């Protein structure tokens, strides 16, 4: 049985609130515990309710969804909703899991719920893990009651998901309760280069590079972020 996730909706448009509420009613793992028109009132209530998920309209009077997110940064999952795609870049600087454009599309909405469930699964796994450095090329990850030996050279790339990082090898994934930025500061990750807000790659596994992506062994494609293109020189 999936964990029940508490959810709050904040949107100044009544019809959008109704549509979002109806859509979410199709997902039994999500329980709506608050629906608000006024972002000021929503802020006060969210502090008391401590939901797992907030759906926030970006463009609201008195306080935008972006500003509200800054004030409730402790809420783990934030989904922004809006008519304005130009706010997407700014929203992802605020620990946003997804960004939904109105009018909502059911298939796209399903993808959002999948992302929420994936994030919850990763969070559970990461909380159960701890890392311990042993030597330059090896460290251990605690998974349940056992410790798994991970060889640094076997890691193809790192994938960030808010405060968690997934370490991907050719055969498995490991979940660590640490930001990608914090991991990259550790000496045993000195061979990795940040190439995207969400990705860092190991230089030795790079096959080819173009203006939009980096191809690793096994044909794995990693997007190249515009603000990280100066990192390409470090790959040679």
- Termini Cα distance of the chain: 49
Q: Is 188 found in the same domain as 100?
A: no
Domain boundary among 96, 125, 154: 125
Instruction: Tell me, yes or no, whether 120 and 9 share the same domain.
Output: yes
- For the question of whether the overall pTM of this predicted structure is more than 0.75, the answer is no
Six-digit token string for 1: 């049985």
pLDDT of 230: 77
Write out pLDDT tens, residues 170-181. Answer: 998 888 888 888
Q: What is the pLDDT of residue 129?
A: 47
Tokens of 20: 């979002």
Instruction: Give me the residue label for tokens 């929203």.
Output: 91
Using CA atoms of 35, 36, 40, 44 in order, give the dihedral in degrees to the nearest 10. Answer: -30
Q: Provide long-range contacts, Cβ within 8 A and 24+ apart, for 166-171.
A: 166/122, 167/141, 170/217, 170/218
155 and 120 together in one domain = no
Query: Same domain for 117 and 141?
Result: no
DSSP-assigned letters across all residues of 49-64: H--SEEEEESS-SSS-
Q: How does 98-129 read in b/e, with b if 16+ C-beta sit within 10 Å? A: bbbebebeeeebeebbeebbebbebbebbeeb
Please report how many Cα atoms fall inside a 13 Å half-sphere around the Cα of residue 142, on the Cβ side.
10
158-202 pLDDT, tens digit each: 998 877 888 999 998 888 888 888 888 887 788 899 999 889 999
| CATH number of the domain to which 19 belongs | 3.40.50.2300
Closest Cα partner for 68 from 4, 8, 152?
8
* 61 and 80 part of one domain: yes
- Same domain flag for 68 and 167: no
Task: Single out the residue in 98, 125, 152 at which a domain terminates.
Answer: 125
The tally of domains found in the chain comes to 2
Cβ 139 vs Cβ 133: under 8 Å:
yes
- Tell me what pLDDT residue 164 has: 84
pLDDT grade for 127, boundaries at 50, 70 and 90: low
Of 20-34, 71-85, 130-144, minimum mean pLDDT range: 130-144
Q: For residues 10 and 49, state if they share a domain.
A: yes
pLDDT for 178: 83
Complete edge-to-edge strand list for the sheet that includes strand 53-57: 30-36, 5-10, 53-57, 77-82, 98-101
- CATH code (residue 216): 2.40.50.1020
| Domain assignment of residue 120, given as a range | 5-125
Residues 90 and 138 in one domain: no
Q: Which of 29, 40, 37 is nearest to 7 (CA)?
A: 29
Whether residues 223 and 133 fall in one domain: yes
Task: Say if residue 76 is in the same domain as residue 139.
Answer: no
Name the average pLDDT for the chain.
85
Residues 38 and 105 reside in one and the same domain: yes
Out of 125, 160, 183, pick the residue that ends a domain. 125
Based on the fold, state whether residues 28 and 64 are members of the same structural domain.
Answer: yes
């Amino acid at each position: 049985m999936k964990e029940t996730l508490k959810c709050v909706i904040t949107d100044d448009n009544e019809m959008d609130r109704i549509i979002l509420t109806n859509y979410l009613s199709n997902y039994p793992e999500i329980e709506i515990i608050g629906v608000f028109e006024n972002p000021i009132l929503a802020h006060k209530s969210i502090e008391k309710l401590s939901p797992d998920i907030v759906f926030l309209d970006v463009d609201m009077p008195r306080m935008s969804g972006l500003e509200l997110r800054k004030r409730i940064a402790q809420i783990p999952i934030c989904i922004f909703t809006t008519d304005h795609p130009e706010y997407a870049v700014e929203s992802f600087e605020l620990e946003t899991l997804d960004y939904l454009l109105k009018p909502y599309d059911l298939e796209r909405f399903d993808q959002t719920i999948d992302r929420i469930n994936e994030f919850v699964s990763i969070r559970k796994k990461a909380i159960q893990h701890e890392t311990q450095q042993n030597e330059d090329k090896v460290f251990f990850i605690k998974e349940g009651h056992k410790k798994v030996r991970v060889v640094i050279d076997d890691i193809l790339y790192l994938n960030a998901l808010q405060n968690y990082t997934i370490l991907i090898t050719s055969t498995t994934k490991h979940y660590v309760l640490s930001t990608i930025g914090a991991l990259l500061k550790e000496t045993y990750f000195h061979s990795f280069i940040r190439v995207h807000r969400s990705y860092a790659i190991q230089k030795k596994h790079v096959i080819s590079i173009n203006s939009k992506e980096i191809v690793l062994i096994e044909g794995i494609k990693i997007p190249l972020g515009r603000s990280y293109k100066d990192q390409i020189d470090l790959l040679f």
